[in-house]
Amino acid sequence: MKPILLHKSDNAFIPMKTVLVGAISTIAILTSCTTKPAVVEGTKTNSVKRIALGKTIYDNSCGKCHDLPNPTDHSAQDWVGIMNSMAPKARLNDDQHAMVYDYIVSVKK
């Protein structure tokens, strides 16, 4: 069986199979060289800032209505329930809720 030829150039024929393999290889190489989206991970500085903000929110929002319990008085699991019941009363948004929880849990460390 005679190979399928792409074109004739200077009396040299390039088999279609060779052209396809070359094109696929080129695409694979170029695709692997493209930049990948960066995975944004929390930095230690960002975490420290969020915990500090959580403490400020805890002191100012929670402390407005009642004496503040010591974060170490309850387990992390207990704080989930406490936060879920108290955050709406303090009108905390989801991010503030998370920052306060992160602060409380960080004190236990």
| Domain range annotation of the chain | 1-34, 44-107
Q: Report the predicted TM-score, pTM, of the whole model to 2 decimal places.
A: 0.57
Burial of 106: CB neighbours in 10 Å, binned 0-12, 13-18, 19+? middle
What percentage of the chain carries pLDDT values higher than 90? Answer: 41
Q: Is residue 54 pLDDT above 80, yes or no?
A: yes
Given this model, what pLDDT does residue 57 score? 93
Mention every residue, 6+ apart, whose C-beta is less than 8 A from residue 87.
Answer: 96, 97, 100
Looking at every residue in the chain, the average pLDDT score rounds to: 79
Q: CB–CB of 57/100 below 8 Å?
A: yes
Q: CB–CB of 84/100 below 8 Å?
A: no
Given this model, what pLDDT does residue 39 score? 47
Given this model, what pLDDT does residue 35 score? 59
d(CA 57, CA 86): 13
